[in-house]
Structure 1
Amino acid sequence: MHKGSCLCGAIHFTVEGDLPKASACHCTKCRKHTGHYEAGIDVPKAAVAISGEDRITWFQSSEKVRRGFCSVCGSSLFFDPIHLDWIGLMLGSFDGPTNTRIALHIFVADKGDYYDLNDGVPQNLQ
C-alpha cells in the first residue's frame, strides 16, 4: 500500500498494490496546474481511498477532465477523466518511496522553454 497527502495534511489517500510506470505531461494545462510539468501515475479508481474529500476543490479543466487540489494549501493532487475508471495521482504527493519511474514524456511540443529533457526517456510530441 502506498500513502500520500497534500502539503497541509487535510487530504490523505492510499493506493493498493504496486504503482505503475509514471508519465510526465508537458501540456500547457498541466504546467499551469502544477507550476511545472506534471509527473503522475494512473491507477484504477477502485484502488484509491481518499480521506478529507470535503477539502478537495475540483476544477473542470475541460469537458472530460477535472483536476483536484486541496482547498486549504492548494496542493495539486488529482487528474480525473470523469468518463473513465482511472484517476491520475501526482507523484510529488506520495509519502516515502514510490518504486516507480517516469517511462514516457507526453505533449513535449508544448513544454516550457526553461528546461531541457535529456533523461533518455521516450518522448511523444502529443
Structure 2
Amino acid sequence: MARRNGCLIGCLVAVVLGIGLLVLLLFGVGKIVDVADKTLVDPKVYEAVKAGDPASEVRAKLPSGETFVKEALKDGGPAVPAGAECSWYLSTSGDSDTVFRFCFKDGKLAEKADYRLK
C-alpha cells in the first residue's frame, strides 16, 4: 500500500510540474506576441512620414512601443534631439536588426532615424 501511495504522489507531482511548465510556456509566447504587436513597424510607414508632419498623424500610424524591450532598442542609436520625446520600433522587414526611431517636439515629427541594433 505504501508503495502505491508513493507512486501516486510521484505521478501527481509530475502532472503539477507539467501543467506549471505549460503555463510558463504559454505566458512566454504571449509576451513575445505582445512585443511584436507593440514594437514592429513596416518600413513603408517609416518612409512615408517626414520631419514636420503632425505628431498626431504620425503616432496614429505607429503601435504604442511600450514594451520591456524599449530600453534595449535605444542602445547604439544617434543622440536624441534636445527637448524631443522619442519612440523606438523594430522593422518588420526580414532584417530584424533595424531600429526605427521617431522623435517628436512641439507637436511635430522633429526627426526620424534608422540604425542597426547593437
TM-score normalized with structure 1 length: 0.24
Greater fraction of residues in helix: 2
The structure in which a higher percent of residues are strand is: 1
TM-score norm. by structure 2 comes to 0.25
> Higher Cα Rg: structure 1 or 2?
2
